[in-house]
Amino acid sequence: MLSIRKNQMTIAQYDKICLVTNTMVVLEVHGKTVKIQGEDLQVSALEKEEVALKGLFQSITFHE
């Protein structure tokens, strides 16, 4: 599950974090790749089943 509020995003039930930079975050969720692009991206909270991001989100893409 993914929820967005202004400059904050929460992704629940992710499998792993593949990449984190200040312009891109790539996660694996249920065997699919989720790519989040933006500016000043940061991981603001990290738990076993949930990750919270903050920054200026520009695009979210899902790949098989």
pLDDT per position as a tens digit, 1-58: 789 999 999 999 999 999 999 999 999 999 999 999 999 999 999 999 999 999 999 9
Tokens matching residue 37: 């692009």
Specify the number of domains making up the chain.
1
Which residue type is seen at 41? L
CATH number at residue 36: 2.60.40.2000
The pLDDT tens digits for 12-21 are 999 999 999 9
How many whole angstroms separate alpha carbon 16 and alpha carbon 26? 9
> If you count DSSP H runs as helices and E runs as strands, how many of each does the chain have, helices first?
0, 6
9 phi, psi to nearest 5 deg: -135, 140
pTM (2 decimals)? 0.91
**Residue 1 pLDDT:** 79
Residue 45 domain boundaries: 2-63
25 neighbors 60 (Cβ within 8 angstroms): no
Rg of the chain over all Cα atoms, to the nearest angstrom: 10
